[in-house]
Structure 1
């Protein structure tokens, strides 16, 4: 069985032992159970099963594997959003940030922000003008699962300062029209943060975003199938790195190192150190 590899700041040519790192609290988020109960058991299972099989994701894997593997390679990989320097992203010319939701900002299906990320999210809100943060997720905002927008409204009320963008097509399918319409700018002026190579990163790179990959926050609440798919994605991406593929250069930020706040392996002030 493949073990989850370390998430480097930048891609490595070959796997190396994982260095010591600041702790990433992966306990159970108490809001998860409430989220499942609030949406009803039947709705929860429909969503869960729907997310486990994503035809657009399957098609994307095939297309990327055949044509352009670098579409699955993020511009930068970090443990979580605490490692991002939001001020540097703003100074580089980015006009907003688009987050995936589950296991990027919240535990799976939970409406509330993962507590250890609260300070980093406050820093993000401070760096960007009001209305510049959004969620674009295959759960929240997807009309298939939330046709009346009720759950999107709950998330917006729970995570202050974020707007949930409604959309019809699961990532990585579809274009960025809804996002560009909300922000009033090209996707190339936006940052996309997510935890999946073949959904978040492929979608972001296909549409011109600056892509940031973070580690999932809570494996405990994630389905067995999704965990297996994650391992498969990581295996394929590591293979492409070893073959010499590298991320697409982004015009606003050719060197992603400038938006890394610090090296969490050395800085004593790193989160959880």
Structure 2
């Protein structure tokens, strides 16, 4: 699938000049195996969880879970229930995905819904909020490997944001993502040195 240019991602990246906290995740893990799903739900009051796909759950443009993640993926679905786990991709489920064929393939493979949305992350939060209602945005975590799309998306929408700082593989990834990801890693280190905090979220007070 060929992805169209993500204008929203470019425009919204400039938001951090005025509000750098939007780029700071609440939690940083190496990959999804580092997430304590039971704690999120039982202690933090998180009722649902959303994931980016490429380099978070799967290899770029793949439709199957990255094999080392199989056990933790099953744990996540068991903890929250498949109806409360959703994938929000900037490829599958978007207007780039003709007849949503890729989204359907993913749903069959991963066993959860793929959000259909007309605006790419970090825009389009209203599509997720509508789909997950009556779960409120602050009762939802969002997980992804990209700062300018996934972290800003979750923070703008009031989610608990979890950044996975280690990708599945860069093989097959698009060139823009390769360049931007390196910039994002430098940005996070800079923001940490400046003691920039993520937006307030109830989970962080637990």
Secondary structure of the residue aligned to 2:45 is: coil
| RMSD (Å), alpha carbons | 1.4
Q: For 1:39-58, list aligned pairs within 5 A.
A: 44=1, 46-47=2-3, 50=4, 53-58=5-10
* 2:129 counterpart of 1:180: yes
**Higher deviation after alignment, 182-191 or 245-254:** 245-254
Alignment partner of 1:139: what SS? coil
Q: Could you tell me the TM-score, scaled by structure 1's length?
A: 0.71
Tell me whether 1:79 sits opposite 2:42 in the alignment.
Answer: no
2:139 maps to what in 1?
189
C-alpha separation between the residues in 1 aligned to 2:155 and 2:35? 19
Q: Which of the numbers 48, 52, 61 marks the counterpart of 1:109?
A: 61
Correspondence for 1:17:
none
Residue 225 of structure 1, CA deviation: 2.9
Q: 1:253 is matched with which residue?
A: 204
Structure 2 portions without partners, runs of 5+:
none
CA distance in structure 2 between the aligned counterparts of 1:178 and 1:170, rounded to whole angstroms: 10
* Residue correspondences, number: 203
Partners of 1:178 and 1:59 in 2: how far apart? 19
Q: Identify, as 1 or 2, the structure richer in helix.
A: 2
Q: TM-score, normalised by structure 2?
A: 0.93
In structure 2, distance between residues paired with 1:128 and 1:249: 23
Distance 1:150 1:200 in 2: 23
The answer to whether 1:216 aligns with 2:188 is no
**Correspondence for 2:153:** 203
Q: Which runs of 4+ in 1 moved over 4 A?
A: none
The correspondence for 2:47, drawn from 89, 92, 95, is 95
Please identify the structure whose Cα radius of gyration is greater.
1
Q: Contact 2:58/2:64 (CA < 8 Å) preserved in 1?
A: yes
Q: Structure 1 stretches of 5 or more lacking a match?
A: 1-43, 256-273
